[in-house]
Amino acid sequence: MMRIPTGKGSITLPALLAIWSISLVVNLPGLAVSPMLGNLDKIFPHVGDLEIQMLTVLPNLLIIPFVLFSGKLSESKNKVRIVVIGLAVYLGAGILYFFADSMPMLIAVSCLLGCGCGLVIPLAAGLIADTFAGKYRMQQLGIKSGISNMALVGATFVVGWLNHGNWHTPFLVYLIPAIPLALMIFVRNNNPEASQKMSAAPAATGSPQAQSKTDFAVPTPGEKVRDGFIVGRMAGIIGLYAFTTFAVSIISYYLPFLIQGDSLSSDITGSVTALFYLAVFLPGFCLPYLIKVMGQRTSLLAALSTAGGLFLMALARADWLLYFGAVFMGFGYGVFQPVIYDKATYTVTDGRKSTLALAIVLSVNYIAITLTPFIIDAARHLFHTTSNHFPFLFNGILTLIFAVLVVVKRHSFTFRMSDEYV
């Protein structure tokens, strides 16, 4: 049977496909609900504003503590078992949607979906971090990022198509967890204690759980360590992911208003958004080669690409500028994302905490997405503007300032590219 090199040995192709398949579901919560928001008054005639807000906000908020809970559980519990439980809850919620006939039921099922997804999210990256090392891990984290974003693009089109029928049909996308759930049989026991024991064995054993002794960081003199975390490194990675997510998240919130304000066709909204996620997807497959060519200039390239895309959006008065802007924004974010995931595993001095580190970083991503509209609205109020171009211009300027910081701190852990990536 074909085996895939991991940097620690090799794993079977079915095991790799099983690990990849987890990424299919991590970006889907809220997707099927979105198309029906404008028709809630027809579906549920007596629905109030508070219930609508709870339907959209509460499930996403619940993801955050369950991401952290999953990361904490992964220190002492079987990781594959956590994934299976999370996927089962996720799939169960997807089935229950078809029986929801009231707004309270819809809210309750959506909260259950958020809990299940929260358990799965950190382990989509955590199993990769445990299985692969060096450039192989970087490449696989890039592929993981690409799969999750392309799944979102594909599911968005499917939901739009299904939305023309019965209002329950878009919830079919929440049956996708059945795929990774069925494939989990190919992923062997990932018990952390077993991993520690197996790390002493030769890497050629082929176990996807064999944990390399180098899968944790050795702090340099002067670096502060607390509870197994290198504080400065973790703070840097959290700040990097929070800002880059905030910088690009405005495309989801403000693109429709930008297009409407410029009297452009609303039909291009989906195409521009799809191009953004496609551009996020592509760097994941070629990131080691990009880093080999660009070296320590990779972070600066990503920052300038993001800033350029934001400015193109801010200046756009034509469709093609929006398309190019989306590609540049997506490319910059697509470079940063897998690098951040990989660096998160080097913020701990105990390899068993690597998934918890990923969970903390991923929770920051969701917090940044949640806070983005509040930050932008506060900035609008501060500058006394209601311009639909302002969010993109404001974030473009902030990202240019961020690019200067990248140059100044280019030798820091946060922005430095490791030689093992190539």
CATH class (in words) of the domain with range 216-422? mainly alpha
Total length of the chain: 422
Q: Give me 213's structure tokens.
A: 């002794």
Distance CA 284, CA 142 (A): 3
CB contact at 8 A, 389 and 404: no
- pLDDT computed for residue 202 by the predictor: 35
Q: How far is CA 153 from CA 279, 318, 325, in A?
A: 11, 23, 17
- pLDDT computed for residue 421 by the predictor: 62
What string of pLDDT tens digits covers the 422 residues of the chain?
Answer: 678 888 888 899 999 999 999 999 998 887 667 666 666 767 787 777 677 777 777 887 889 999 999 999 988 778 999 999 999 999 999 999 999 888 889 899 999 999 999 999 999 989 998 888 877 888 888 888 888 888 887 887 787 777 777 888 888 989 999 999 999 999 864 443 333 333 333 333 333 333 343 456 778 888 898 988 999 999 999 999 999 999 999 988 888 888 877 667 766 777 888 888 888 888 877 888 888 888 899 999 999 999 999 999 998 878 888 999 999 999 999 999 989 998 998 999 887 888 899 999 999 988 998 889 899 999 999 999 988 899 999 999 999 999 999 999 999 999 998 776 65
Distance CA 305, CA 282 (A): 14
CB contact at 8 A, 102 and 196: no
DSSP letter at 225 equals E
3 by DSSP, 3-state: which? strand
Is the pTM value of this prediction over 0.85?
no
Q: Give me 132's structure tokens.
A: 């692969």
Strand partners, 379: none
Distance CA 248, CA 392 (A): 9
Burial of 47: CB neighbours in 10 Å, binned 0-12, 13-18, 19+: middle
Q: Which CATH superfamily is domain 1-205 in?
A: MFS general substrate transporter like domains (1.20.1250.20)
- Return contacts of 373-378, CB within 8 angstroms, 24+ apart: 373/253, 375/246, 376/250, 376/253, 376/254
What phi, psi does 229 have (nearest 5°)? -110, 135
Distance CA 212, CA 137 (A): 12
**CA atoms 163, 166, 168, 171: torsion sign:** negative
Distance CA 342, CA 140 (A): 10
What phi, psi does 156 have (nearest 5°)? -60, -45
Q: Give span(s): CATH 1.20.1250.20, the chain.
A: 1-205, 216-422
Strand partners, 225: 230
- pLDDT computed for residue 156 by the predictor: 75
CB contact at 8 A, 31 and 94: no
CA-CA-CA-CA dihedral for 256, 257, 263, 267, to nearest 10: 10
